[in-house]
Structure 1
């Protein structure tokens, strides 16, 4: 080959390589299939489009006018119950997701934020290079929205776009310094906030405005952005921000399908080559104070792989119902959610959507609380629930099982919610916490050309929690079948998002009654709870109501428990005689049994009577135990109003925080023999009374073997005390009251008559044949 040809080829190759390099510099970096898909909470310039206003709701732009929207937030409802809403919902244009749901009822306050100081509002900050934090959303009814301006001429209330530069004269440089400043505040206290507000005139310096804000206690957040601390590739801890709630993406468009392995979690896998519906910002339209629309359009250039002039528009509509006088207290805990798929092509287009569930449900009580599972064992902190449309099938998938499957199989295993080969339709799927629940209810009747589900699964949506596995965030994914949408046609799938407390009347109203479970003796628990709530309405204290209810139950069971105590008393008195008979007839089982039966018959003693009485009482006592462990009303109900100790009957009494000076293996939140981070008094009183009962009721040991058995029982009782140390204080009050009743009941029983005399006579009867037998042997 001639040298000039070689030179030409070399130059052409060099030019081609340079062109490729320049082209790749303008392309976003593609992640490998196994790369971590992290959802950051706040983007740069997250305050909305360039003009700072939401979308105007006009027609979707033509392809030549294609726009990229900045991230922005929108709100529905209010956190102030006087505004007529049960909740404040914050929506995020990124993924058209539910960013946060806060309940407005002041009785549903959060104690996960007890160390965070007072509540100003969740403001979705951006940092500003060391000069304050920029506000991206102001929730109606929050102290931030109601702040009073001290600067003359300024309007009340903080605004989106304001930058907080100081709190109580403490400079704010970033989010961390803001959090530290707020930790020094108290609920129901007042703070002074200084902000810089951009000037309306371009080029002028920002206006500095001073506000005073009356703080409150943090409301409960049924849904919130959540963060896990994981071990990074370099072995150092790093943060992983969980995906937000109720994301929607496409599983299929025409012949294009979501490629598994393109994201760390199968639920987040999207169709390669299309704009991301999960990570992208949707067009936002605030229709009214209680309705927001999000839109995302896939243009012909996005769908060119399917042919010419393909166009698909997705719309997500969220609407919050305002509470009216006609509505009951059980209503208003839902968001109406419509998913619309508009085929704006001239030809039919086959489409399947993928709808994710909630994330970030409350972790309150994670170190002591245990939900009751259907069947054996306990449920976890964030479990997935599912029920069929006809109510014939209900299932609960515990976080324990989902985590175990993930550890066993790896690579994001998905657990089917039901058998798709059947004709079963889904009524709802949800995520269930200890006292709160968020579920997606499907409205099959009112949906226009709704699409049936092709798959419904549950799985962890975040890395397995390294500190405590049951804290792992789990959710569900509903995937529709591919549905052919005609040219110019629309498919509308209606949902209802429930996010509220697990109160009986609320759950029943939304058809979620099976979520509340009291165990095998649910009817007994339900009856006892009706009585408990009736007593509370009269006494005004759940602590007193529990004591009175326990006394009522023990009083009703007195004839049975008195007979049981009397039976045990006789057994204790006859113990020496039973021992002598056993020694006398140790080589004669038939004779020993006959002698014991004669003794029992003479003194009207039934050796199995105590067990029988116990089985009769078991449903009542277990039903009461379960009722007190599950009932939502005990959450944050104080034993003595106004006293910090035992201020939550659903939690341990928490007299003293001792984690700072107790050994770590004893004070850590979980694990054996951990007692938790607090010193609790009521469990110690409970176990002490158990030991007293054991001492009073058990017959004295007649030999070394019995003495050893009783020592083992005492050790087991102490061991039970360790397990009992983190039991909710409401249950401790029940056990303490019941134990005192049992001790008093036993002490007031008259001693069995004639037993000592009879026993002595019996001793002689037994001794005589023993002597005669000895003489015959000689």
Structure 2
């Protein structure tokens, strides 16, 4: 072989080796589909990665160039009898929290109604048409409790299993798996076939399992995606950032811009896989190290190690029912350099909170207008100042300031200590609470800001996924020094007692008549404790309220009866004094005084009912206890008193402008019968008790009122069904009250007054003044 051929082969081999090492050190970006990244094998006994080993070929590279594969680990259990209130999935990508599922069976999710039964969130990966590969199995899930029907095979699905069939339907990829699962229902037993890899050189075996599906638990945190227009004009699915990422705002003289932008030239703490160093049932540790070769811009022998520790203590029998909804989170910064190294970190908040109720529910803002579905909250530890930053305000800021979309949560230069920052949904909240007692006092937060963390939802802006960041002050870490910042991550329901236990009471807000809402809720919960049904409790509460106001409403009803009886006389006076407004007013006042009629007496009832109505409206729309509370247990209709009754889904055949979830005069995707009954009773009351019109003007006014009543029915079409029950009960009470009230008898007519008798005193008085 000629020398040039040998040289060419050696050159080609060198290029190939270089390219191979480059690929191993810089793996390709993950696929855009959710949970489809390549993941290492899991330890089947521990249900977590055995040692988070570096990727294939890592032994050929230097220690500081090791690239770890993406792994998942779990904390707690979804089993409510396990002592844990949640199942937490931790993701090595960015050292983040991947998912939080609450174990309480009453906290079921409406967002998965069309997804079939719940098998478990298994972090699937596709396998070139050969099924879907499982990478994590949460304790207490139906997948973990699967019963093996194959002799010699252990019960429970395991990490590494490849699902190839669900109830006789072949599974080739994630899409076919989801379609197969959509055909199932909670409570159904299905048959799942998996290819289980053999140990060592043993071949894979097929194992068949019987699995009892359940209802989907609520996910306070979950991976989320958005669909945007790609560069080619075609729809493109993008993943939202995961929850509770951590990055560096400053290292030495190097600093980063705001938001998710990291320090240029340093390894990414957000996109890289952190090393999993410890895993147990209740604790997971991850770490990321910046080696001297990464920090060479700052000089020789610079080394910084970040450690994140997540733990989930088990709830004991002695603890209260309000406890156990927090994840203990500890962030450590280790300066392993030989010199001092100034460091500031940036901690991000949760993403992917539930969108439950987004098309009918409206959170009330402390300012004017309504809040969104994923709003950002912040409270000061020093002053107790609480602020709700609505989705609308955060989106507006992002659209105005495209380069820096982050809205400050506290004033620039403020010395206030952040008590917590959070993301608030309709019925659930996730907040990051700072533990100052367990943290190093050297670190203080210098900045707090909120922003849309994902593309703005153009179809319905309040659904935009928003979050926050907290940035610490830069602190000079001495050589070998370690600082610690402790947090608690609250991820739970917006129950009053739970929120107050965690110091989050300000998150729950009932509007201007909060005191009335609180009082009515105390009575309502007391009635529920006796009756066992919130529908009956609302009816009894309404009767109690109307009964207490009976003396006032009875007086109002009599007043309206007298008004109806005097209507002809009022009409006669108006005709007689057509050209004399002062004379007409004097004659009407004499008539009203003679028959003890107060024309504004009917307003008293309205002013008394207004705070009760608004207070009860906010109570029924906000109170967590009414979520998923059925009117009639066992019937799907009106199974959630905090939502519309949803008698019939008509989104498939009604015109789009009527059935669309949101928009002006849109009624939503469901036919709700209770608002129609409510409006019908309003119209009956108007027809029965409104005095007959005395002229064309009054007739037009009454027609306008009828149209306004119908329009109000459209506006109220998506109100909580519990509020409709209040309206219906109150209207029936009002009709019966008026029907049973004796009609006024023998109302005499006033003697016709002459214009001169009314005007003369005024003329004489005028002369006297002159």
| Cα deviations by residue, 1:722-742 (Å, 9 ceiling, x for unpaired) | 111111111111111111111
Structure 2 counterpart of 1:45: 38
Residue 313 of structure 1 aligns to a residue whose secondary structure is: strand
Partners of 1:765 and 1:44 in 2: CA distance = 93
Q: Which moved more, 1:135-144 or 1:48-57?
A: 48-57
Asked whether the 8 Å contact 1:47–1:160 carries over to 2, the reply is no
Partners of 2:31 and 2:547 in 1: CA distance = 59
Structure 2 counterpart of 1:502: 494
Show the 5 A alignment for 1:335-374: 335-374=327-366
Structure 2 counterpart of 1:475: 467
Structure 2 counterpart of 1:216: 214
Partners of 1:670 and 1:464 in 2: CA distance = 17
Residue 441 of structure 1 aligns to a residue whose secondary structure is: strand
Task: Using the TM superposition, give the Cα deviation of residue 517 of structure 1 relative to its aligned residue in structure 2, in angstroms.
Answer: 0.7
Q: 1:592 to 1:125 in 2, by over 3 A?
A: same
Partners of 1:46 and 1:296 in 2: CA distance = 18
Structure 1 counterpart of 2:507: 515
Show the 5 A alignment for 1:377-456: 377-390=369-382, 392-456=384-448
2:660 equivalent to 1:668: yes
Task: Using the TM superposition, give the Cα deviation of residue 24 of structure 1 relative to its aligned residue in structure 2, in angstroms.
Answer: 9.8
Asked whether the 8 Å contact 1:74–1:286 carries over to 2, the reply is no
Residue 267 of structure 1 aligns to a residue whose secondary structure is: coil
Structure 2 counterpart of 1:14: none
TM-score normalised by the chain length of structure 2: 0.91
Residue 543 of structure 1 aligns to a residue whose secondary structure is: helix
Task: Using the TM superposition, give the Cα deviation of residue 754 of structure 1 relative to its aligned residue in structure 2, in angstroms.
Answer: 2.3
Task: Using the TM superposition, give the Cα deviation of residue 450 of structure 1 relative to its aligned residue in structure 2, in angstroms.
Answer: 4.5
Q: 1:512 to 1:86 in 2, by over 3 A?
A: same
Structure 1 counterpart of 2:4: none
Task: Using the TM superposition, give the Cα deviation of residue 48 of structure 1 relative to its aligned residue in structure 2, in angstroms.
Answer: 5.0
2:109 equivalent to 1:110: yes
- Which of residues 185, 203, 224 in structure 2 aligns to 1:226? 224
2:673 equivalent to 1:681: yes
Q: 1:25 to 1:672 in 2, by over 3 A?
A: farther
2:51 equivalent to 1:55: yes
Show the 5 A alignment for 1:25-40: none
2:249 equivalent to 1:256: no
Residue 123 of structure 1 aligns to a residue whose secondary structure is: coil
Task: Using the TM superposition, give the Cα deviation of residue 578 of structure 1 relative to its aligned residue in structure 2, in angstroms.
Answer: 1.8
Partners of 1:527 and 1:134 in 2: CA distance = 53
2:307 equivalent to 1:315: yes
Residue 114 of structure 2 aligns to a residue whose secondary structure is: helix
Partners of 2:367 and 2:571 in 1: CA distance = 42
Q: 1:22 to 1:584 in 2, by over 3 A?
A: farther
Show the 5 A alignment for 1:11-160: 41-47=34-40, 53-55=49-51, 64=63, 66-160=65-159
Structure 2 counterpart of 1:654: 646
TM-score normalised by the chain length of structure 1: 0.90
Structure 2 counterpart of 1:773: none
Task: Using the TM superposition, give the Cα deviation of residue 523 of structure 1 relative to its aligned residue in structure 2, in angstroms.
Answer: 1.3
Partners of 1:703 and 1:478 in 2: CA distance = 67
Partners of 1:719 and 1:504 in 2: CA distance = 35
Partners of 2:393 and 2:20 in 1: CA distance = 45
Partners of 2:612 and 2:467 in 1: CA distance = 35
Partners of 1:332 and 1:471 in 2: CA distance = 28
Give ranges in structure 2 of 5+ residues lacking alignment: 1-13, 759-770
Asked whether the 8 Å contact 2:308–2:329 carries over to 1, the reply is yes
Asked whether the 8 Å contact 2:52–2:71 carries over to 1, the reply is no
Task: Using the TM superposition, give the Cα deviation of residue 692 of structure 1 relative to its aligned residue in structure 2, in angstroms.
Answer: 1.5
Residue 436 of structure 2 aligns to a residue whose secondary structure is: strand
Residue 657 of structure 2 aligns to a residue whose secondary structure is: helix
Task: Using the TM superposition, give the Cα deviation of residue 713 of structure 1 relative to its aligned residue in structure 2, in angstroms.
Answer: 1.6
Partners of 1:361 and 1:38 in 2: CA distance = 23
- Which of residues 694, 716, 719 in structure 2 aligns to 1:727? 719
Partners of 2:377 and 2:124 in 1: CA distance = 34
Asked whether the 8 Å contact 2:41–2:160 carries over to 1, the reply is no
Residue 438 of structure 2 aligns to a residue whose secondary structure is: strand
Asked whether the 8 Å contact 2:31–2:37 carries over to 1, the reply is no
Partners of 2:428 and 2:20 in 1: CA distance = 48
Q: 1:703 to 1:24 in 2, by over 3 A?
A: farther
| Cα deviations by residue, 1:381-431 (Å, 9 ceiling, x for unpaired) | 110111111352000011122122323333452111111323211100000
Task: Using the TM superposition, give the Cα deviation of residue 39 of structure 1 relative to its aligned residue in structure 2, in angstroms.
Answer: 7.3
Q: Which moved more, 1:245-254 or 1:698-707?
A: 698-707
Task: Using the TM superposition, give the Cα deviation of residue 28 of structure 1 relative to its aligned residue in structure 2, in angstroms.
Answer: 8.3
Task: Using the TM superposition, give the Cα deviation of residue 700 of structure 1 relative to its aligned residue in structure 2, in angstroms.
Answer: 1.9
- Which of residues 709, 729, 735 in structure 2 aligns to 1:737? 729
Partners of 1:580 and 1:574 in 2: CA distance = 10
Partners of 1:554 and 1:126 in 2: CA distance = 60
Task: Using the TM superposition, give the Cα deviation of residue 43 of structure 1 relative to its aligned residue in structure 2, in angstroms.
Answer: 5.0
Task: Using the TM superposition, give the Cα deviation of residue 53 of structure 1 relative to its aligned residue in structure 2, in angstroms.
Answer: 3.3
Task: Using the TM superposition, give the Cα deviation of residue 67 of structure 1 relative to its aligned residue in structure 2, in angstroms.
Answer: 2.5
Asked whether the 8 Å contact 1:194–1:209 carries over to 2, the reply is yes
Partners of 2:41 and 2:215 in 1: CA distance = 29
Structure 1 counterpart of 2:605: 613
| Cα deviations by residue, 1:254-277 (Å, 9 ceiling, x for unpaired) | 11111x3xxxxx421101111111
| Cα deviations by residue, 1:90-138 (Å, 9 ceiling, x for unpaired) | 0100001010000000000001111111000000100000010000110
Q: 1:38 to 1:733 in 2, by over 3 A?
A: farther
Task: Using the TM superposition, give the Cα deviation of residue 556 of structure 1 relative to its aligned residue in structure 2, in angstroms.
Answer: 1.1
Asked whether the 8 Å contact 1:655–1:679 carries over to 2, the reply is yes
Structure 2 counterpart of 1:270: 262
Partners of 1:161 and 1:711 in 2: CA distance = 70
Task: Using the TM superposition, give the Cα deviation of residue 49 of structure 1 relative to its aligned residue in structure 2, in angstroms.
Answer: 8.0
Give the count of matched residue pairs.
734
Asked whether the 8 Å contact 1:194–1:211 carries over to 2, the reply is yes
